[in-house]
Amino acid sequence: MSAVGIIGLGDMGTGMAERLLAAGHEVYGWNRTRAKALRLAAKGLRPLDSPREVAQAAELVITMVTDNAALQAVCDGPGGILAGLCEGKVFAEMSTTAPALVRALAQRVAETGASLLDAPVSGSILTLRDGKLLIMVGGDRAAFEQAEPILLAIGPKVRLVGGVGQAKALKIGINLSLAVQMLAFSEGVLLAERMGVDRRVAFETFLSSVIASPMLQYRAPFALDPPDYPWFPCGMMQKDMDLALQLGRELGVPLPTTAATQEALTTTRALGYGDEDFAVVFHGLARMSGMERS
């Protein structure tokens, strides 16, 4: 495969397109806001007028969109991806969406003669740019082997984990852990701060201790020194927590810390922090504790 189509050119989709172009692939693209696709044209991306045209032009079609509704919007209708698929093509759905939705979509893709791979990613914009992204793939092994060389240009860790829907379950499980860890970290720091420990001293101490996971080491500092652009806004994290809670109900798995963290994120957004990186849950909890943002 050499011709790749990317539908959804937000931060992650743009980063993927840039890596594929740098690796020498022919890349076609579509985005609801056309200006984002046009910005990449200078780097070699070929903007097209509909998801259908992208699917027709590419051997591997990638979607990296916001949520379930956005995925359905780019797949359905006369201008949608399904209308452009045919025998031999592979469709890699790389967004964070519901396992049930992607399984139903896989059946519809199979009716066109193409194959669907459930291929969400674990990592951030920085991870993608540094070439350290993990791609979890669920689906048919033959389709996986077709797509694997291209996926390796996006990230060096590409792992076939099972069937369609199972990669999405792994992704959702990883993301709920991100938010739960951040909330637990915030509780511990604020407890120490209320006892008179300087906030920055508490952060540095916690992040030098055994509880300092790789995620906390790079994300917890965002609570003190926010990035210029939020990597993972509160609203997006809440969408993923909703997916986790829905999946838990479907499978009969209780998710008590996920539910509590979701409520903390709701409070944080209500306090006006919704557009910031989800590390700002620290300040939502601080406000509830009567401590000011510093």
- Tens digit of each residue's pLDDT (9 = 90 or more) over 1-40: 589 999 999 999 999 999 999 999 999 999 999 988 899 9
Residue 223 forms part of a structural domain? yes
Residue 241 sits in a domain whose CATH number is: 1.10.1040.10
Q: Using alpha carbons only, what angle is made at residue 260 by residues 256 and 262, rounded to the nearest 5 degrees?
A: 115
Domain match, 88 and 197 both:
no
Is 171 catalytic? The answer is: yes
Residues 118 and 253 in one domain: no
CATH code for the domain in which residue 56 is found: 3.40.50.720
Statement to judge: residues 137 and 43 lie in one domain: yes
Question: How many distinct structural domains can be found in the chain?
Answer: 2
Are 153 and 208 members of one domain? no
- The mean per-residue pLDDT over the stretch 49-61 comes to 98
Among the candidates 114, 138, 163, a domain finishes at: 163
The whole-number pLDDT of residue 283 equals 96
Helix runs in 116-213, H state only: 125-129, 141-154, 166-194, 199-206
For residues 122 and 182, state if they share a domain: no
Q: Please indicate, yes or no, whether residues 133 and 256 belong to a single structural domain of this protein.
A: no
d(CA 98, CA 38): 30
Same domain? For 52 and 159 the reply is: yes
Classify residue 293: in a domain, yes or no.
no
Q: What is the mean pLDDT of residues 30-53?
A: 94
Q: What confidence score (pLDDT) does residue 294 get?
A: 65
Decide which of 135, 163, 191 is a domain's last residue: 163
- The domain boundary, picked from 110, 129, 163, lies at 163
- The whole-angstrom separation of Cα 108 and Cα 116 is 9
What pLDDT does residue 2 have? 84
Is residue 26, in this structure, part of any structural domain at all? yes
How many C-beta atoms surround the C-beta of residue 259 within 10 A? Answer: 13
Three-state DSSP class for residue 45: coil
Same domain, 284 and 198: yes
Please state which of the ranges 120-124, 188-192, 247-251 shows the lowest mean pLDDT.
Answer: 120-124
Domain assignment present for residue 294? The answer is: no
pLDDT band at 293 (very low <50, low <70, confident <90, very high): confident
User: Are residues 150 and 45 located together in one domain of the fold?
Assistant: yes
Specify the pTM.
0.93
Select which of 43, 132, 171, 239 is catalytic. Answer: 171
Tell whether the model's pLDDT for residue 169 goes beyond 60.
yes
Question: Is the domain of 23 the same as that of 150?
Answer: yes
pLDDT tens digit sequence for 95-149: 999 999 999 999 999 999 999 999 999 988 888 988 899 999 999 999 999 999 9
Q: 110 and 9 share a domain?
A: yes
- As given in the structure block, the two tokens for residue 274 are 């919704």
SS3 123: coil
Domain containing 179 equals 169-288
% pLDDT > 90, the chain: 91
Same-domain pairing of 16 and 145? yes
